[in-house]
Structure 1
Amino acid sequence: MKRTLIWLACAGFVAACSQSTPPPAEKAPAPAPVAAAPTLPPLTSGVTKENMDTTARAQDDFYRYVNGHWLDTFQIPDDKPMSGAFVKLDDEAKANIRAIIEETAKAADSTDKDKQKIADLYASFMDEAALESAGLKPLEAEFARIDALKDKKEIPALVAHFLQIGATAPFGGFVHQDNKDSTKYVVDLQQDGLGLPDRDYYLENDAKLKQIREAYAKFIEKMLAMSGDKAAAASAKAMLAFETELARVQWTKVQLRDPIKGYNKETFGDLAKLAPGYDWKSFLVAAGIEGKTDYVIVGQPSYMTGMDKILTKTPLATLKTYFRWQLLRNYAKYLNKDFVDARFAFYGTELRGVPADQPRWKRGVGLTEGIIGEAVGKLYVAKHFPPESKARMDQLVKNLLAAYKQSIDTLDWMSPETKKAAQEKLAKFMPKIGYPDKWRDYSALEIKKDDLVGNVMRGNAFEYQRNIDKLGKPVDRAEWGMTPQTVNAYYNPELNEIVFPAAILQPPFFDAKADDAVNYGGIGAVIGHEISHGFDDQGSQYDGDGNLRDWWTAADHEKFAAKTKALVAQYAAFEPVPGYHLNGELTLGENIADNSGLAIAYKAYKISLGGKPAPTPDDFSGDQRLYIGWAQAWQAKVRDKFAIELIKSDPHSLPVDRVLGTLSNQTPFYDAFGVKEGDKMYVAPEKRVTIW
């Protein structure tokens, strides 16, 4: 549900003081001039008219009406799988961070150790000459560890080590709150082990996915050959077969959305029954889990059983090659140019259709954020997020929460009993805006200016240990799951929190110089989206304290299911790429959030007007600007190959479908733009899905 806002304030400067004419000499001196009251520039409409195609009818294709000229003239940059509003903001954030890092690096004898670590980590990535000279040497110790395996009983300890250094293994683990006891931290074990985005890439036989499988096998062969495997072709064939076996026993993305089925509390003894051939004792000790807790949560029990059987029948030599391959795949981007290029040729060009890799500086910024992100965020916030922005955002969030509070009592699908519980949950929502109150401590993280691979491994190990150390301690409710410089937002049901990092609080989501309406359609709908996750098909299963508990009546569930069933069918009809329809079940939660968020943003906008008419900074009404703001926020172009990946693995609908699907269910949109029967945007009133 993490995925992936400022109030209606205007920015302006105080006008210069007015000048007073000197008094005549014969009169007494006049009082000293008094400064004029501050004046603010008039608000802009917030509508980017140059992006519009007004030859398109808003009633037939609103996405094109708002973004058509941009769609016709904008070319996706060669280094991107998609581009648009989110990507533009991310690019701007990365450029700002680059400047911060480079300024930090120039500061001589810095006494700020975090700043020094940021500079050294970035420098280790940018030193291409050193990486060319090193070749595969940075991975030699890890390869030796794999080669030294004498028995399959040693594999669990190796898996634990892979989790610590951030390399893919047949299953993964992470620390979070216990879904049924939000006062405790627990370890979750989850299916993993694949090099392609989803199990469908291994198991479905349409032409495009088969082509990607064939290219993946060639990619494996090339990388293994580059690493010295003299039987690379045979090894690649074995790797694809092994990963396909893992894919067959994995749960689908739709199955993974069910938090009840995914909550399986297992004692350490239960693990032995689940996968009897796996040495869990060895794993738990090596992973640092034993002694800190006496149970874990297994996300997909049937997968663990299936994985155990696969590991049992697979020769040790094949498993050693598999771990060697996964280590190489995960770390190739930190090696010399040949490995970087080979990895990008598959994951960038073949899989996503991207012609060129990102500039090295941008990849270096991404790495630095990934390893020491909050230290970077602290510098970013100081320079790019003024305190007044946080204050205005606080108010906007309050407005959206107030709109939800009013709406709960009017819902036709929620009983009085459940409405009371919903109000209680809403009252416990915890907004986090801009940046954390307490910054992360990186004093235990070791960074060396001349050791990129070592820095990445130590960085992953630092984060792993930081999370393991939470076990047995009180839950830190102030912790953030995203850095301030992340262009995104999220709802976390276990903390019942909505989080809006600083970097998303910019146009087209929020424009401090624009009229309220377009901001409610942009960032207001994003706020409403995240709040609604607390009441969607997943989030509604958690109470206000973050515990997985059913607080709905049976009748509520039935009424809500009827609405969501219609939403599933509605979005499943979208076909962003010929032959590839959206998965209405996979995208259900996000579609609920989009529809609910925009509906609530509209109500909050009306509340903000206080009964007064909307301002008219242009030819559009307030309601029209709100819906234009929604379409502007999701402006995007996506390469077909990447669109297929998103359709298969992402719980969000494609941007164009997020806009059109959501608007077709908003009755005020019909009124604002005069949408009538016969128009392509028209959906009969009885078929519109209205949740909030």
Structure 2
Amino acid sequence: MTRIQDDLFATVNAEWLEQVQIPADKPRISAFDELVLENEKNLTADLQHMSVELPEDNPELLEAIKFYNKAGDWKSRNKNDFSAVIREMDKVTNLNSFEDFRTHLLDLIFHSQAPLPFSISVDADMKDAVHHSLGFTGPGLILPDTTYYEESHPRKAELLSFWQENSKEILEHFGQKDAQEIAAKAVAFDGLLVESANTAEEWAKYAELYNPVPFKEFVGHFKNIDFDSFIKGLVSTEPEKIVVFESRFYDSFDHIINEENWPLIKAWMLVKIARKATGLLSDELRLLGSAYGRFLSNVSEARSQEKHQLDITESYFSQVIGLYYGLKYFGEEAKSDVKHMTSEMIKVYQERLDKNEWLSRATIDKAIEKLSAITVFIGYPDKLPEIYSRFKVGNGSLYEDACHFDELLTARHYEKFSEEVDKSLWHMPAHMVNAYYSPDSNTIVFPAAILQAPFYSLEQSASQNYGGIGAVIAHEISHAFDNNGAQFDKYGNLNKWWTDEDYEAFEKKQEEMIAAFDGRATEAGPANGKLIVSENIADQGGITAAMTAAQKEEDVNLTDFFSQWGKIWRMKASMEFQQMLLSMDVHAPAKLRANIPPTNLEEFYQTFEVQESDGMYRAPEQRVKIW
């Protein structure tokens, strides 16, 4: 029998780990996933009820229900009428040359399902967060990240082979006679992208990826694509700059996107159209289209038709469903309680910053300014994004509706460029079991769905709630001061507000955090401390501030607090899924998340009388203290 002194995670979750089963259609089960499953049940029941009694008084929700009904009309979906998909594929098939491709770029992006082998996106500018800028990246890879392409990776060959064979089968359903060749060429094109793609570690340090290039210099850099005309066709005003987020792809663009490689690019586009369509067509095709994802994560069963129906509806109406969920399931008592906890946590953070011993007063004052400027959203948003008023379900097929919505979303995406950033919009629906900090708006969002047990409950003690949602709240606050967030000021701009000496000291502390996790053994392999450092800084700040807040309560119980912390990270997952997370997820593996942060706190040792000989012991000089 395990003891907390040796393994907090295994001890507080012992019964759960022994009894819980990973659902056959999921790669894992966790405290988060258990809430997701409960939400799925509730929302399915609600949507089915509204399918009969249509919500005529709520136009956006009404369209969502119409789409949901169409997604569940398997009689129509199973008729195997693929004419609309073939029309989309013909838009690429009929491009007879690279020159044809170059001259039809705007048609492809605004009026087709074809992906381009590069991306121009619109986002808040990192150095001017009130306004949008255009960003340039590559198209993404078939495998989860660049490490999967290393010759030493045990799954590289089998995954690419599976994807290629699976793509061939999908193409054959759409009457592609050269399906084998097209699928092989798509894999060959993917191979050309690998060396120029950002690694997971590079994406994790997103503040360092900001590389603005003046517009004239950007368009003059390329020989093979007329980006001047293309970008002026995308947005209404000529941009001052383009932010290059994948520099190696930018540098090698003409060596990859060229006439010689056009047959490979064309094949890749055809496969992407076909694969994307599968989830909107017959049951046979949606099972075929999801087979690669299941193989990747070792999931034994596909989603049921009922769950798939909900998934597809959420993929287009997520915020609409989220607002419905928040209004129905989130109570005012819970909202005011969480508001109170959040304001307490911000006070605790201010007190801790005031007493900070490794920063100068100048940096402390700036940090407190930033802390005081954080906007907190709890439960659900006050309004929906405007795009939903444009979504109207038509008389055609589910696939045709989805294509129409995609076109509307693309048009809206580029419309935003000339507008100021709307910082009140949520980037996560209220029924999602998660939370986030947005550095470009200095905003924290706690959707309604995470405000449930084991994270939060009116039935739990204050100490348990601080060990759960309290630590999550403080975790998100800490993201304002992690290795990325710390580079943004109170307005959300990438702007150095630290003294040089203080930032050097902070970088040393980052290295200490990297060392605390790097190489730590897990079931799936060693942890990568550099990849997960931002989340580990946030976890450490979260548990520290939440514990301080819990200690202010009259009935504080640190045994409850630390036990609850251990419980919220409980997880069981397939080995393949764990290995994928190790290579690309910026969060530490669940057991390390539960076990390492408490070992940096003296109160943990006192509460459980942890001795040097115990598994959870960490020598005082190795304990990491940042926030």
TM-score (norm 1): 0.86
Pairwise CA distance, 1:170: 2.3
Q: Does the 8 A contact of 1:79 with 1:356 survive in 2? A: yes
* 1:419 to 2:364 alignment: yes
* 1:673 to 2:618 alignment: no
Distance 1:577 1:343, change over 3 A: farther
Higher mean displacement: 411-420 or 253-262:
253-262
**What is aligned with 2:573?**
638
Which structure has greater helix proportion?
2
**What is aligned with 1:520?**
466
Pairwise CA distance, 1:163: 5.3
Q: Does the 8 A contact of 1:138 with 1:453 survive in 2? A: yes
Q: Which amino acid aligns with 1:206?
A: H
SS in structure 2 at match of 1:664: helix
* 1:445 to 2:391 alignment: yes
Pairwise CA distance, 1:284: 1.9
SS in structure 2 at match of 1:284: helix
**Correspondence list, 1:394-543, <5 A:** 394-441=339-386, 442-448=388-394, 450-543=396-489
SS in structure 2 at match of 1:436: coil
Which one of 305, 308, 311 corresponds to residue 257 of structure 2? 311
**What is aligned with 1:253?**
200
Distance 1:162 1:127, change over 3 A: farther
Q: Does the 8 A contact of 1:344 with 1:357 survive in 2? A: yes
**What is aligned with 1:283?**
230
Q: Does the 8 A contact of 1:157 with 1:282 survive in 2? A: no
Pairwise CA distance, 1:131: 1.6
**What is aligned with 2:129?**
182
Instruction: Supply the distance in 2 between the matched residues of 1:157 and 1:255 (Cα, whole angstroms).
Output: 33
Q: Which amino acid aligns with 1:265?
A: P
Q: Does the 8 A contact of 1:176 with 1:188 survive in 2? A: yes
Instruction: Supply the distance in 2 between the matched residues of 1:260 and 1:57 (Cα, whole angstroms).
Output: 41
Distance 1:405 1:111, change over 3 A: closer
**Correspondence list, 1:116-195, <5 A:** 116-155=62-101, 168-195=115-142
> Larger Cα Rg: Structure 1 or Structure 2?
1
Q: Does the 8 A contact of 1:167 with 1:326 survive in 2? A: yes
Pairwise CA distance, 1:465: 2.7
Which one of 582, 591, 594 corresponds to residue 659 of structure 1? 594
Distance 1:142 1:534, change over 3 A: same
Q: Deviations over 1:127-169 (max 9, x none)?
A: 1221221342231221111012133244357665665567643
Distance 1:235 1:469, change over 3 A: closer
Instruction: Supply the distance in 2 between the matched residues of 1:94 and 1:420 (Cα, whole angstroms).
Output: 45
TM-score (norm 2): 0.95
Unaligned 5+ segments in structure 1 are 1-54, 615-621
Pairwise CA distance, 1:425: 0.6
**Correspondence list, 1:219-234, <5 A:** 219-234=166-181
Q: Which amino acid aligns with 2:329?
A: H
* 1:65 to 2:23 alignment: no
Pairwise CA distance, 1:305: 2.8
Pairwise CA distance, 1:294: 4.1
Distance 1:511 1:158, change over 3 A: farther
Q: Does the 8 A contact of 1:168 with 1:193 survive in 2? A: no
Q: Does the 8 A contact of 2:187 with 2:268 survive in 1? A: no
Instruction: Supply the distance in 2 between the matched residues of 1:516 and 1:326 (Cα, whole angstroms).
Output: 50
Q: Deviations over 1:489-510 (max 9, x none)?
A: 0000000001000111000100
Pairwise CA distance, 1:575: 3.0
Q: Does the 8 A contact of 2:54 with 2:62 survive in 1? A: no
Higher mean displacement: 631-640 or 271-280:
271-280
Q: Does the 8 A contact of 2:114 with 2:270 survive in 1? A: no
SS in structure 1 at match of 2:496: coil
Distance 1:683 1:310, change over 3 A: same
Pairwise CA distance, 1:519: 0.5
Instruction: Supply the distance in 2 between the matched residues of 1:412 and 1:222 (Cα, whole angstroms).
Output: 63
SS in structure 1 at match of 2:572: strand
Unaligned 5+ segments in structure 2 are none
Q: Deviations over 1:207-264 (max 9, x none)?
A: 2333323322322333333333333333333222210110111121212233454222
Output the aligned Cα RMSD: 2.1
**What is aligned with 1:389?**
334
SS in structure 1 at match of 2:526: coil
Which one of 26, 33, 38 corresponds to residue 87 of structure 1? 33
Q: Does the 8 A contact of 1:172 with 1:189 survive in 2? A: yes
Instruction: Supply the distance in 2 between the matched residues of 1:188 and 1:114 (Cα, whole angstroms).
Output: 31
**Correspondence list, 1:33-52, <5 A:** none
* 1:114 to 2:35 alignment: no
Q: Does the 8 A contact of 2:169 with 2:179 survive in 1? A: yes
Distance 1:627 1:173, change over 3 A: farther
Q: Does the 8 A contact of 1:203 with 1:244 survive in 2? A: no
**What is aligned with 2:143?**
196
Distance 1:109 1:301, change over 3 A: closer
Q: Deviations over 1:89-109 (max 9, x none)?
A: 111122222222122221258
Q: Which amino acid aligns with 1:379?
A: Y
Q: Does the 8 A contact of 1:121 with 1:449 survive in 2? A: no
Instruction: Supply the distance in 2 between the matched residues of 1:179 and 1:502 (Cα, whole angstroms).
Output: 28
Distance 1:267 1:290, change over 3 A: farther
Pairwise CA distance, 1:660: 1.2
Distance 1:206 1:433, change over 3 A: same
Instruction: Supply the distance in 2 between the matched residues of 1:689 and 1:600 (Cα, whole angstroms).
Output: 14
**What is aligned with 1:33?**
none
Distance 1:166 1:410, change over 3 A: farther
Q: Which amino acid aligns with 2:588?
A: S
Pairwise CA distance, 1:568: 1.3
Which one of 333, 355, 380 corresponds to residue 325 of structure 2? 380
**What is aligned with 2:191?**
244
Instruction: Supply the distance in 2 between the matched residues of 1:89 and 1:168 (Cα, whole angstroms).
Output: 34
**What is aligned with 1:567?**
513
Q: Which amino acid aligns with 2:284?
A: D
Instruction: Supply the distance in 2 between the matched residues of 1:392 and 1:173 (Cα, whole angstroms).
Output: 42
Instruction: Supply the distance in 2 between the matched residues of 1:278 and 1:214 (Cα, whole angstroms).
Output: 32
Pairwise CA distance, 1:309: 1.4
Instruction: Supply the distance in 2 between the matched residues of 1:470 and 1:309 (Cα, whole angstroms).
Output: 32
Pairwise CA distance, 1:627: 0.7
Q: Does the 8 A contact of 1:274 with 1:301 survive in 2? A: no
Pairwise CA distance, 1:657: 1.5
Q: Which amino acid aligns with 1:231?
A: D
Higher mean displacement: 402-411 or 471-480:
471-480
Q: Does the 8 A contact of 1:121 with 1:452 survive in 2? A: yes
Q: Deviations over 1:164-184 (max 9, x none)?
A: 567643223432211111221
Q: Which amino acid aligns with 1:603?
A: T
Q: Which amino acid aligns with 1:629?
A: Q
**What is aligned with 1:5?**
none
**What is aligned with 1:26?**
none
Instruction: Supply the distance in 2 between the matched residues of 1:212 and 1:412 (Cα, whole angstroms).
Output: 51
Higher mean displacement: 421-430 or 109-118:
109-118
Higher mean displacement: 628-637 or 446-455:
446-455
Instruction: Supply the distance in 1 between the matched residues of 2:278 and 2:522 (Cα, whole angstroms).
Output: 32
Instruction: Supply the distance in 2 between the matched residues of 1:385 and 1:675 (Cα, whole angstroms).
Output: 40
Distance 1:505 1:384, change over 3 A: same
**What is aligned with 1:38?**
none
SS in structure 1 at match of 2:291: helix
Q: Which amino acid aligns with 1:250?
A: A
**What is aligned with 1:687?**
622
**What is aligned with 2:248?**
302
Q: Does the 8 A contact of 2:54 with 2:65 survive in 1? A: no
Distance 1:173 1:509, change over 3 A: farther
Q: Which amino acid aligns with 2:124?
A: Q
**What is aligned with 1:101?**
47
